[in-house]
Every structure is written in C-alpha cells, then in structure tokens.
Amino acid sequence: AEREYHCEGCGISVQTEEPSALGYVPPAALEREMVLCQRCYRIRHYGEIGTVNQNPDIYLQKLGEIAGTDSLVVQVVDLFDFSGSWIPGIHRHIGDNPLLLLANKIDLFPRSTKWGRLREWLVQSARDLGITPIDVELCSAAKGLNMNETITAIEKYRQGRDVYIVGATNAGKSTFINRLLREVGGESQDVITTSPYPGTTLDAIRIPLEDGKAIVDTPGIVRRDRISEWVSPRDLKIVVPGETIRPKVYQLNDKQTLFLGGLARFDYVRGPRQPFVCYVSNRLYIHRTKLDHADVFQEKHCGGLLVPPADPEILPPWKKHVISLRGKEKQDVVIPGLGWIACGKEKATLHLWVPEGIRVMTRPAII
C-alpha cells in the first residue's frame, strides 16, 4: 500500500493529484525531508494564502471526539477578542475532561494593566458563559511571556494524559504550540504553520511527548460573527493588532459620531459629556464627526477616507444596534474581531452600526 503522508505544517493528509484541492503536494516534494502541502509552503515562503472553505460541522465533529478521551483540554482564547474567540458550548464537546483556560496575547494590553483584576474578570466571564475551568493562565505565545507558568500548569493538570489544544481560529493555538515545543524541546524552527489568516491548521496534529502521550493541535472553529472574518488579508493586517494597544480617548458630547475605519460607526446619541476609550489596532483610522453629518459623511467616504475595507462591497449591509448604558458600572461595547470601546460612568444611549451578523455586546469593563 502507498504510504500516507501528512503535511508537517497543518497536519492535513497530503495528495498529489489535484493541485487546486487541499493538501496538494507536487509528487517530487514527497522526497523532501519535511513534507509541506502547497498551501503551507506558500504561507511560509511567500506569506500568501488561498481561501479555504471549512465546514463547521466537521470541526464540531472533531471536537466531539475529545469527549471520548481521558485528557486535559487547553482552550486558547484571544484576550483581545475574548467573545470572538470563544467556542460556544465547549463543555458539550469535551465531556468530563478538565479545561484549562489560556488567555493569549497579553502583550497587546497596556503595561498599566492590572493583571490580578483581569484574571478575576476572566474567571467571572467564563462562569457567565457556563464554563468552570480548573484554572486560568495568561500568556503571550508570540512574545514568550508567562510561558513557564503556563507550561508548569499544563504539566500539573495533565497528570500523565494527552493534552488537547482547542480554540477559535486566530486565537494563537499554533503559535502557542510552536513556542511550547521550543521552550521544552529546543526546537529551532517553527513546526506548525502560523499565519494571521483564519483557518490555517486544517486537521488534528499529534505531537508525541516523551511519556508516550501527545499534545494534540486541533483545527480552529471559524466564527463568522466577528469582523476579522470578513476583511481581506491585506485589511486584516490593519484590523488585527500586532503590537501593544495605545488606547485612544475621546471626550464626546452627545450627537457626536466615531467611525472605526469603514467597519463600525459609534453614535453617541444621548447623555452628558464623557470619555470613550477605543481599544482597537493602532493602525485603524478613527474619525470623529457630528452625528447630523454622519450619514452623508459615510456615503461619501466609505472605501476612501474610511478604510478598511478598501472595498466596502465585501461587507454585509450595516445594521444598527441600540445600546442603553445604565451608568455607575463601567461597560465595554464590544465589536468582535475589531476591539471594544470602554464607556464612561454616565448613563448613555448609543447607536452602534456594524455589518449585519456581527455579534456586538456589552460587558463589564475588562480593564
């Protein structure tokens, strides 16, 4: 029988017949020491990517296999996009296995962040989602922050079992595993393909551990309810933050509007003058204008001054969400895949416009 090969970048079973299909490898490339499918090869060498249609059902089916194992599940969430990187109904899929919550990308948070408080916020938010993790860790896989503590926690809770790494696409699973392997095994080169584009890891990969167990990297669930899924790879570089966020403070009177590029529009409709702080990628252009002018301004400048997206046609039509803030408790208005706006302590009525299907929400302030 023919030997079956797997791509060492994304784990997919490779094939040599169909160049346009997933897992394609030119036949000669099978002779190489490290077999990479065409897609991973391109990501690694040219930074490009082909679109891949991933079926969410297949993903959930794969995730459901965890319920039948005896393992530790590590769920990686993107701390910057907490609600957008969550896996709905995670406990249904993993059975009785313990869940360690790993909040990644702490490097994006300002240095003044009170980490103890943020950790409590995480525990509470997880509980509100019906999840009781055995523990919560915070790290930056990309910058290697807090990795020792995280690895120690995994070792402690693993108790000789397999470790399943789960998460939504772009939460940083692959980056985390690469970092993990480097820290524990001295790997010099990235083994798993990472990229800023959704859906890079395509099939589960087992990375053997010395005790005969394994770290299992699972494909990420694609969440269409966040903005980052809708923009082009080029615009994604503007939308997804790559460095520590510099919060932008706006003292707004009522009847003022903020445009977050051409991706969201925030109308302060009613309430006293108060501060609103935007936590979005530093590269995203924010434009302040009068609410009375906002419609005309939008009509005229979307795709021009108000970018991304360079091509507004790629987005679903905008939908208005009416938000009432009751005051006293500080609240964040969250736009999954884009960031959030931390609101002041005063009562307020807001209109938030985002492409239809984006699941906006409010939450107690994260910082």
Footprint on this chain of ligand GDP (rule: CB under 6 A): 104-105, 107-108, 140-143, 167, 169-175, 194-196, 200-201, 220, 242
Comparison of 108 and 352: residue with beta carbon closer to ligand GDP = 108
Number of H helices, E strands in the chain: 8, 16
- Which residues fall within 8 angstroms of residue 53, CB to CB, at 6 or more apart? none
Find tokens 């160049």 and name the residue. Answer: 19
Comparison of 157 and 176: residue with beta carbon closer to ligand GDP = 176
Comparison of 150 and 257: residue with beta carbon closer to ligand GDP = 150
Comparison of 24 and 197: residue with beta carbon closer to ligand GDP = 197
Minimum gap (Å) between residue 251 Cβ and ligand GDP: 29
Residue 127 and residue 101: Cα distance in Å, rounded?
12
* 3 state SS of 149: helix
Minimum gap (Å) between residue 44 Cβ and ligand GDP: 12
Comparison of 140 and 256: residue with beta carbon closer to ligand GDP = 140
Which amino acid is located at 34 in the chain? M
Minimum gap (Å) between residue 85 Cβ and ligand GDP: 8
Which amino acid is located at 237 in the chain? K
Q: Is the dihedral of CA 173, 175, 176, 177 positive or negative?
A: positive
Comparison of 38 and 174: residue with beta carbon closer to ligand GDP = 174
Whether 79 and 103 have beta carbons less than 8 Å apart is answered as yes
Residue 86 and residue 75: Cα distance in Å, rounded?
9
Comparison of 36 and 141: residue with beta carbon closer to ligand GDP = 141
Nearest to 204 by CA among 232, 258, 244, 162: 162
Residue 306 and residue 55: Cα distance in Å, rounded?
33
Helix, strand, coil shares of the chain as percentages rounded to 5? 30, 30, 45
Minimum gap (Å) between residue 6 Cβ and ligand GDP: 17
Minimum gap (Å) between residue 110 Cβ and ligand GDP: 13
Beta bridge partners of 205: 217
Comparison of 83 and 274: residue with beta carbon closer to ligand GDP = 83
Residue 53 and residue 56: Cα distance in Å, rounded?
9
Comparison of 29 and 142: residue with beta carbon closer to ligand GDP = 142
Minimum gap (Å) between residue 172 Cβ and ligand GDP: 3
Minimum gap (Å) between residue 54 Cβ and ligand GDP: 11
Residue 78 and residue 173: Cα distance in Å, rounded?
10
Beta sheet of 274-280, edge-to-edge order: 248-252, 274-280, 339-343, 331-335, 361-364
Minimum gap (Å) between residue 198 Cβ and ligand GDP: 7
Residue 263 and residue 356: Cα distance in Å, rounded?
11
Minimum gap (Å) between residue 143 Cβ and ligand GDP: 6
Q: Burial letters for 168-191: b for 16+ Cβ neighbours within 10 Å, e otherwise?
A: bbbbbbbbbbbbbbbeeeeeeebb
